[in-house]
Structure 1
Amino acid sequence: MSKPKVAVIGTGGTIASIGKGPLDILDYGANNSMLEVDKIVELFPEVHEVADVLVVPFRAIPSPSMGFAEWKELVLKIDEVAAANPDLAGFVVTHGTASLEETAYVLHLTVKTELPVVVIGSQRPSSALSTDAGFNLVNGIRTAASPQARGMGVMTLLNDEIQSAREVTKTSTYRMQTFRSPDFGCLGHADGDAVAFYRKPLRRHAPDTEFDIRTMDSLPRVDIVYAYCGSDGTAARAFIEAGAKGIVSAGFAPGFCGPGDEGPLKEAVETGITVVQSSRAGSGRTFKSTKLKENGFLIADNLNPQKARILLAFALSVTSDPAEIERIFATY
């Protein structure tokens, strides 16, 4: 039986990093050594046992350097590779874990291919004694090749766990089990004998979305105001002055901004800036309280602040109508 064909696109990050030795699992970035994706695949030849691997060079950068330009180029690259390889079963994108959830969510909102897209990374560099890079790469490829992965939107795969890009977040600095979906858990597992799915994401996702990053030159500016005791609105006023089109309030749970931030954010709404209320708790829905209605704030549902920022930016790329933006947050 022929093996499925899976494209592996490399963007850098810890999985591409080489430390000073096998025990260098924290400060490996100081070694300034990052591999292109073809070299990563060479380190773990076991990938060829599970698929016919098509290596696609892209970037070798730390993941905090990812942004709109890289996201757009990545979507175009996926388009290009899918068109050139009609026998392709799916995609794997290797990525640094620091911003992995953000890139995965952007792809979840913007890729137009029907093929599965699985974003993977590692908590330890490929040079480490106990690196998770190899198994995450193998399992990411197995997941992308699975027929059951179709229709799931963009997923992540680390620590044998398959997560939805909308829900997953990094919850720990160093631990292997860092990627979690706090409210609903993982979609399934990539075990030694099988890739097993147990649920499907219900919210609208790629490829059936109203957002087309291909036609965009940039995203509208959206900033995040983080609530803390004593916050006095300085950050909110600075973002307004900087030209923000939208602001996400990473508020106190269950969803309200700091007293000092409320005035500037309410004034922002009055000037046409969209304010969306999220929570700094990292889990759970915000709700349309009386105060939020009075201030004209919208709600982020259960999206964390960094993902609410992404969805708000894409929403503002197609509409400035608060009712339509509210619909988008209830849809995606």
Structure 2
Amino acid sequence: MPVRIAFIGTGGTIASIGSDPFDLLDYNASGERVDAATILDRTGLDGVIAEIVPVDFRQLDSTAISLQDWADLADLCKELARDPALNGIVIGHGTASLEETAWLLSLVLDLEIPVVVTGSMRPLTGLSSDAAANLAAAVRVAADPTGRGGVHVVLNDEIHSPRTVTKAHTLRLNAFQSPWSGPLGTIDGPAVNIGRREQRERSPLFSGDLLRRLPRVDIVYSYVGADGSAISAFAAAGAKGIVSAGFGPGLGTPAETEALADAIVQGVVVVQSARTGAGPVVDSAHHQRLGIIAGNDLNPQKARILLALCLARGDDAAAIRTVFQSL
């Protein structure tokens, strides 16, 4: 029986057509977006590695993806996975928020088949576009019989964990990196080489139903002279949680620390992450004294997603601290 992979098109650069081969920046304004079937047609991949079934979701710039989109995308993956003839799912996604979508899906999906999230840094028609190569690599990973279940990110012939991967460059083809851990594996020609597997590949922490009721969680970025007014504004706007993207190793300015303490008194749950790009925030005596939860090794945007899911589930601060510590 041939390997069968569903390709979900959500828009993004991988679905974009520029005005000419040198249109590598302005294609959102000057070009157009195409559906999943057209992407497969232009890349010529259907039937080469596997039978690929195009599935259209929405045509989105990934800067515009919403919480509702996340919930609907997770539901679509579950629906597709009910097909016993399907071996895997590949999602084409804009790179701006790709790491967040992949992390979110890894927390709520428990499927027997793999889900691979990919995208491209250059549009389909761009000079030396990486669209076809990234899609081919993602299909190979989704079709690989040795890796069942779980969510992975595949770009530039590298396989990354949704937990560790981040877009580390605005333009380069190797923009996606796992700064402190490196990739899980590589795609070398037709071979999928996974050097290590995550301890938690498939068991989700959360029910997908929670995606329909995620509370407001905001991120505040630390900088020299920050006075904490942004924190007070977020709390006043109804934030149930705040993630502090602090200085390394996980500290805000004195004024921010005071504002975070005030927010905690008001019932806001605060998680401390760092703006450094790599490394953990350790659960120190300072954080414990203030009631701030250490964000472990999650970057601010991923800490925000985990905190929102915890709050939606009804976890209190003590339970949320345990979740972050046990990752």
Q: Residue 196 of structure 2 aligns with which residue? A: 199
Residues 1:180 and 2:166 are matched in the alignment: no
Of stretches 228-237 and 290-299 in structure 1, the one that deviates more from structure 2 is: 290-299
> TM-score, length-normalised on structure 2?
0.97
Residue 234 of structure 1 deviates from its aligned partner by: 1.1
Q: Distance in 2 between matches of 1:251 and 1:47?
A: 46
Matches within 5 A, 1:80-91: 80-83=79-82, 85-91=83-89
Deviates more, 1:29-38 or 1:92-101: 29-38
CA distance in 1, matches of 2:319, 2:285: 20
1:207-246 map, 5 Å? 208-214=203-209, 216-246=211-241
Paired residue for 1:164, among 157, 161, 164? 161
1:157 is aligned with what amino acid?
A: V
Output one character per residue of 1:67-124: Cα deviation in whole Å (capped at 9) or x when no partner.
21011111111111111x2011110000000000000001000112121000000000
How much identity, in percent, do the aligned residues show?
A: 46
Any idea what SS the aligned residue of 1:88 has?
A: coil
SS in 1 for 2:106: helix
In the alignment, is residue 252 of structure 1 matched against residue 235 of structure 2? no
Secondary structure of 2:198's partner? coil
TM alignment of 1:90-169, pairs within 5 A: 90-151=88-149, 153-169=150-166
Deviation of 1:320 (Å): 3.4
Does 1:55 find its partner at 2:54?
yes
Deviation (angstroms), 1:32: 4.5
Encode CA deviations 1:13-62: one digit per residue, 9 max, x unaligned: 00001111011111111114111111111101134210011111111110
Contact 1:168 / 1:179 at 8 angstroms: preserved in 2? Answer: yes
Q: Is the 8 A contact 1:101 1:170 kept in 2?
A: yes
Verify the 8 A CA contact 1:225 1:235 in the aligned structure 2: yes
The root-mean-square deviation of aligned C-alpha atoms, in Å, is 1.3
- Work out the number of aligned pairs and report it: 327
Shift of 1:289: 2.0
Is the contact between residue 47 and residue 138 of structure 1 (CA under 8 Å) also seen in structure 2? no
| Distance in 1 of aligned mates of 2:244 and 2:201 | 24
In structure 1, how many angstroms separate the alpha carbons of the residues matched to 2:69 and 2:270? 26
Secondary structure at the counterpart of residue 149 of structure 1:
coil
**Unaligned residue ranges in structure 1 (runs of 5+):** none
One-letter code aligned to 1:213: G
User: Residue 292 of structure 1 aligns to a residue in which SS?
Assistant: helix
State the distance in 1 between where 2:151 and 2:196 align: 14
Whether 2:24 is the aligned partner of 1:29: answer no
Change over 3 Å in CA distance of 1:325–1:212 after alignment to 2: same
1:231–1:258 Cα contact (<8 Å) kept:
yes
Shift of 1:290: 2.3
Query: Hey, what's the Cα distance between the residues in 2 that align with 1:41 and 1:73?
Result: 23
Matched with 2:275 is 280
**CA drift at 1:149:** 2.2
* SS of 1:11 mapped into structure 2: strand
CA offset digits 1:268-299 (Å, max 9, x no partner): 11121110000000100111222211111001
SS at match of 1:327: helix
Q: CA separation in 2, counterparts of 1:178 and 1:129?
A: 17
> Aligned AA for 2:9?
G
Distance 2:45 2:313 in 1: 44
**Cα offset for 1:251?**
0.4
Give the equivalent residue in structure 2 for 1:326. Answer: 321
SS of 1:156 mapped into structure 2 = strand
Q: Is the 8 A contact 1:34 1:61 kept in 2?
A: no
| Counterpart residue identity of residue 79, structure 1 | K
- Quick check: 193-202 or 306-315, which moved more? 193-202
Counterpart residue number, 2:78: 79
The one-letter code sitting in structure 2 at the alignment partner of 1:133 is A
Specify the alignment match of 2:12 in structure 1: 13
Other-structure match for 2:41? 42
Runs of 4+ aligned structure 1 residues displaced above 6 Å come to none
| Runs (5+) with no aligned partner, structure 2 | none
Q: Separation in 1 of the partners of 2:108 and 2:122?
A: 29
| Cα distance in 2 for residues equivalent to 1:287 and 1:70 | 33
> 1:3, 1:50 within 8 Å by CA — same for their partners in 2?
no
Q: Is the 8 A contact 1:148 1:197 kept in 2?
A: no
Residue type at the aligned position of 1:89: N
SS of 1:128 mapped into structure 2: coil
Q: Secondary structure at the match of 1:22?
A: coil
In structure 2, do the counterparts of structure 1 residues 324 and 198 end up closer, same or farther at CA, with 3 Å as the change threshold? same
